[in-house]
Structure 1
């Protein structure tokens, strides 16, 4: 009987230790402590750029006082890592930087995406409409290439997506054999995105878009 009590006590202590480790793990994982080359590899942005972005979107992010709450810096890096690699959510959640469950990673990506779409996109993706803005873009192209009157460079790119419902999957299968959105982008000479159009599936030809 005493042996059973001791065994149960040991199991209880182990569970308590795991809870303590889980509570402290997330707070002790600081993505900004990663060396700059590795940080660029994981997130495709410099640490300075991510810090600036974090300051801008943090007012729109969730706040909490729970000890297990994932810091906003880690949340942003989880989303950026997913955008950068296109890997499955489980792979992102198991990265050594972001030890987060698949369910939580999915929630984080959804939240950050909504913030970027609703609060950031309209602020930064702006096509030049005034004569002064257009002349600046034209002059930059002309200085670099010698071509006059260019407002932007336009092209389409396939963005891979999950398999859509069977009834509409024919709209999204592209010529390379995978499902995608055919996204049209316009940028200036410095690669700043001026316009984005992501209405059509991968089966739609560039010329039609």
Structure 2
């Protein structure tokens, strides 16, 4: 009988610890403002300057639904959790337990979905363009070759060269490298 009592007591203790962690994260989340950190650290964390981050939040906020419950995640925090994911490519421990967003991994995943959809319907429509003509392709290819010595490149995202469906008869060379070119 005693071991059963200990297991039940342990489960109760674990549930209470989980509740305490949720409250602690919520407190951290609601009292944090990523705009308060120094500029250099801000750019290091989010790969955007503060002005551009403000532009993004002001542009996407009108299309993002704000929760009706008192414990809903503010749009500002959703955006910063997503920006951190975009900067690192991961939403595991780095984001889920980061001192600036203090969200669970599941919450971060939902934030990324919401923010990405908002960016797609607002900013991406106007700011992201792809070359459509052979003349544009050739101009970009020559520019990449002249500047970086990379043949046949028609675009890159954050220093990572990505394949786009094209003509299968042409040999395509991809160099995958995580780098920032300023």
- State the aligned residue count: 140
Q: Which structure: greater helix fraction?
A: 2
Deviation at 1:99, TM superposition (A): 0.9
> Residues 158 and 206 (structure 1 numbering): CA distance in 2 closer, same or farther, change over 3 Å?
farther
> Is there any run of 5+ residues in structure 2 with no aligned partner, and where?
1-12, 147-152, 175-182
Q: Does 1:183 align with 2:149?
A: no
Partner residue in 2 for 1:163: none
- Between the aligned partners of 2:53 and 2:97, the Cα distance in structure 1 is 21
- Between the aligned partners of 1:157 and 1:42, the Cα distance in structure 2 is 18
Q: Does 1:24 align with 2:27?
A: yes
> Residues 46 and 66 (structure 1 numbering): CA distance in 2 closer, same or farther, change over 3 Å?
same
* C-alpha contact (below 8 Å) 1:82/1:89 kept by paired residues: no
Task: Please tell me the root mean square deviation across aligned C-alpha atoms, in Å.
Answer: 3.9
Q: Does 1:48 align with 2:51?
A: yes
Q: Does 1:57 align with 2:60?
A: yes
Partner residue in 1 for 2:178: none
* C-alpha contact (below 8 Å) 1:159/1:183 kept by paired residues: no
Partner residue in 2 for 1:113: 116
Q: Which structure: greater strand fraction?
A: 1
TM-score, normalization by structure 2: 0.61
> Residues 157 and 98 (structure 1 numbering): CA distance in 2 closer, same or farther, change over 3 Å?
closer
The 3-state SS of whatever aligns with 1:154 is coil
Partner residue in 1 for 2:154: 154
Give CA-to-partner distance per residue, 1:45-77, whole Å, 9 cap, x none: 011110111000001112124222222111111
- Between the aligned partners of 1:40 and 1:68, the Cα distance in structure 2 is 28
Match for residue 206 of structure 1 among 172, 175, 182 = 172
> Residues 94 and 154 (structure 1 numbering): CA distance in 2 closer, same or farther, change over 3 Å?
same
* C-alpha contact (below 8 Å) 1:92/1:105 kept by paired residues: yes
Deviation at 1:97, TM superposition (A): 0.8
> Residues 22 and 95 (structure 1 numbering): CA distance in 2 closer, same or farther, change over 3 Å?
closer
* C-alpha contact (below 8 Å) 1:43/1:80 kept by paired residues: yes
* C-alpha contact (below 8 Å) 2:25/2:103 kept by paired residues: no
The 3-state SS of whatever aligns with 2:172 is coil
- Between the aligned partners of 1:41 and 1:102, the Cα distance in structure 2 is 21
> Residues 68 and 157 (structure 1 numbering): CA distance in 2 closer, same or farther, change over 3 Å?
closer
- Between stretches 119-128 and 52-61, larger displacement belongs to 119-128
Larger Rg: 1
Q: Which has the higher contact order (CA 8 A, sep 6+)?
A: 2
